[in-house]
């Protein structure tokens, strides 16, 4: 039996089936959709964290590897956001970047880090673009100086157009950033005001056009469908605006109704009504078909690119289980030692983060142990994120990992999903249909949970 893992009640195979109907985009699954597919995470006891963290910090990074740099400040709490932590204070920026640099200098001393090649760095938040041009440039330069970046490393700065002028963009690019990911969400003036977005449509378009004219890196935006008051015509206008701008890439996300957000309060009191869950698939289909008609290339179930500058490396690698250094207050990451992978999160309290760095203490606040099958599951997550699954390769990995045959475990499940209109078989490949791409996260979650249950039973019988 796998240690430290509770034995869950066995669920029959049928519990992992999709609903079969003539409208799979609307009805394949019901209930709250998970944001990310995770299976088998168990907490490490607080008393064990220091020793385990020392082991992780002394272990060379795997290949491939990425880094996440967290800037936990926001100018305001957006309507839909469940990640708001700290109100922005301009005077706090320089001290926070000082702390980031201190942690980066500490990470530089990891044993054998020189043998690593970090392929992607993501400055996320929060709103990293709130930092001054000088502080943003300092943080990027420190990443390049202190971490062993691959020669073609993707360095992304996430943020908003509001407060991010060309001076900051030029400073970021000059310091070494090569990708900007901006949360637009919608171009519609009325919806933007309702969401708490401060830039007008005209300001937004002007800023994006100016960034494209700089021609210094990939310019990528997020759009959300299913917003309160959004209909097919508004969504089509957003998509046509995106295509007309000639941007390098875009994410199309369904609205997530998260607890403890202004949106949740507005829904509870009847002020706002988002799209019904069964309507979201139609929005997704509309977006996918318009981008396909414009010859945009899907890199994942939610991300498209136009041209070759955009790569989306960080997102693809981290979802496939790459080792990830977490830099900053509240940053998360993933590392492994002895074949066992762990997720970690730094203390989210900025004062505590700065104090720990000043006193030479670890900034990690908690560890979670990944499933013992994490490497196998990461393969599944990474491939399904890109819309397909190599059944021959997965079968070989499963045989080597657990001495089990894939087909008896998964053929009944895949056959049912095919009847439900979510997948197709193409030789050695299981390909997601358009509906399957929309439901990719619950499909992945169900497959991982089913395999995890089967492999736990194998371990129990051994």
Residue ranges of domains in the chain, CATH in brackets: 48-318 (3.20.20.70), 373-461 (1.10.10)
Residue located via tokens 């949740």: 264
Give the bridge partners for 419, in sequence order. none
Beta carbons of 279 and 222 less than 8 angstroms apart = no
pLDDT at res. 384 = 98
Structure tokens at 217: 């890196």
pLDDT at res. 1 = 35
Structure tokens at 319: 């979802």
Query: Under DSSP, is residue 67 helix (H, G, I), strand (E, B) or coil?
Result: strand
Q: What angle do CA 410, 413, 419 make, to 5 degrees?
A: 135
CB-based contacts of 212, cutoff 8 Å, min separation 6: 219, 245, 246, 247
CB-based contacts of 241, cutoff 8 Å, min separation 6: 187, 205
As a residue count, the chain comes to: 462
Beta carbons of 205 and 192 less than 8 angstroms apart = no
pLDDT at res. 456 = 87
Distance set, CA 172 to CA 1, 70, 138, 214 (Å): 50, 16, 9, 12
pLDDT at res. 32 = 60
- Residue 229's region, left for phi above 0, alpha for psi from -120 to 50, else beta, is left
Nearest to 178 by CA among 222, 133, 123: 123
Residue located via tokens 């056009």: 209
Nearest to 24 by CA among 450, 441, 433: 433
Beta carbons of 266 and 222 less than 8 angstroms apart = no
CA 408 distance to own-chain centroid: 32
Q: What is the distance between the alpha carbons of residues 239 and 223, in angstroms, rounded to a whole number?
A: 9
pLDDT at res. 85 = 74
pLDDT at res. 3 = 44
Q: What is the dihedral of CA 387, 391, 397, 400, to 10 degrees?
A: 170
pTM summary value: 0.94
Backbone angles phi, psi at 222, to 5 degrees: -105, 140
Q: At what angle do helices 440-461 and 374-385 cross, to 10 degrees?
A: 160
pLDDT at res. 119 = 97
Q: Return the HEC string of 200-240.
A: CHHHHHHHHHHHHHHCCCEEEEEEEECCCCCCHHHHHHHHH
Beta carbons of 330 and 348 less than 8 angstroms apart = yes
From edge to edge, which strands make up the β-sheet containing 388-390? Answer: 388-390, 429-432, 423-426
pLDDT at res. 193 = 84
pLDDT, tens digit only, all 462 positions of the chain: 344 445 457 899 999 999 999 999 999 998 766 667 778 899 999 999 999 999 998 898 888 999 999 999 987 766 666 566 778 788 889 999 999 999 999 988 887 687 889 999 999 999 999 999 999 999 999 999 999 999 999 999 999 998 899 999 999 999 999 999 999 999 999 998 887 777 899 999 999 999 999 999 999 999 999 999 999 999 999 999 999 999 999 999 999 877 777 777 887 888 888 899 999 999 999 999 999 999 999 999 999 999 999 999 999 999 999 999 999 999 999 999 988 999 999 999 999 999 999 999 999 999 999 999 999 999 999 999 999 999 999 999 999 999 999 999 999 999 999 999 999 999 999 999 999 999 999 999 999 999 999 998 765 554
Distance set, CA 188 to CA 171, 204, 234, 238, 255 (Å): 30, 11, 7, 7, 16
């Amino acid at each position: 039996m796998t240690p430290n893992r509770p034995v869950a009640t066995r669920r029959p195979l049928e519990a992992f089936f999709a609903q079969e109907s003539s409208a799979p985009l609307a009805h394949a699954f019901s209930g709250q959709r998970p944001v990310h597919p995770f299976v088998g995470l168990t907490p490490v006891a607080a008393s064990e964290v220091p020793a385990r963290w020392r082991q992780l910090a002394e272990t060379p990074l795997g290949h491939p590897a990425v880094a996440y740099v967290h800037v936990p400040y926001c100018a305001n709490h957006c309507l839909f956001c469940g990640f708001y932590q700290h109100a922005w204070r301009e005077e706090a920026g320089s001290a926070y970047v000082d702390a980031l640099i201190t942690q980066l200098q500490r990470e530089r001393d990891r044993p054998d880090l020189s043998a690593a090649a970090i392929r992607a760095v993501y400055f996320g938040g929060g709103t990293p673009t709130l930092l001054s041009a000088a502080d943003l440039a300092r943080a990027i330069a420190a990443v390049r100086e202190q971490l062993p970046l691959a020669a073609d490393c993707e360095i992304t700065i996430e943020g908003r157009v509001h407060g991010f002028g060309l001076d900051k963009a030029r400073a970021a690019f000059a310091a070494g950033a090569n990708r900007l990911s901006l949360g637009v969400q919608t171009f519609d003036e009325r919806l933007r005001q309702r969401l708490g977005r401060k830039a007008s449509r005209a300001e937004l378009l002007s800023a994006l056009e100016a960034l494209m004219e700089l021609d210094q890196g990939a310019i990528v935006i997020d759009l959300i469908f299913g917003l309160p008051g959004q209909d097919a015509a508004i969504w089509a206008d957003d998509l046509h605006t995106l295509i007309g701008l000639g941007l390098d890439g875009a994410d199309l996300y369904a609205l997530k109704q998260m607890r403890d957000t202004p949106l949740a309060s507005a829904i509870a009191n009847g002020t706002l009504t988002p799209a019904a869950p069964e309507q979201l698939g139609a929005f997704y289909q509309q977006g996918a078909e318009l981008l396909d008609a414009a010859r945009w290339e899907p890199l994942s179930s939610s991300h498209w690119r136009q041209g070759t500058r955009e790569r989306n490396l960080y997102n693809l690698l981290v979802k496939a289980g790459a080792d990830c250094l977490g830099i900053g207050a509240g940053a998360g990451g993933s590392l492994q030692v002895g074949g066992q992978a762990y997720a970690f999160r730094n203390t989210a309290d900025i004062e505590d983060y700065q104090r720990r760095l000043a006193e030479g203490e670890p900034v990690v606040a908690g560890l979670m142990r990944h499933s013992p099958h994490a490497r196998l599951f990461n393969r599944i997550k990474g491939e399904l994120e890109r819309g397909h699954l190599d059944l021959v390769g997965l079968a070989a990995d499963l045989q080597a990992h657990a001495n089990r045959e894939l087909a008896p475990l998964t053929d009944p499940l895949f056959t049912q999903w095919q009847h439900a209109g979510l997948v197709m078989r193409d030789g050695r490949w299981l390909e997601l249909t358009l509906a399957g791409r929309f439901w990719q996260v619950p499909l992945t979650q169900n497959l991982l949970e089913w395999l995890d249950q089967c492999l736990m039973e194998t371990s129990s019988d051994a």
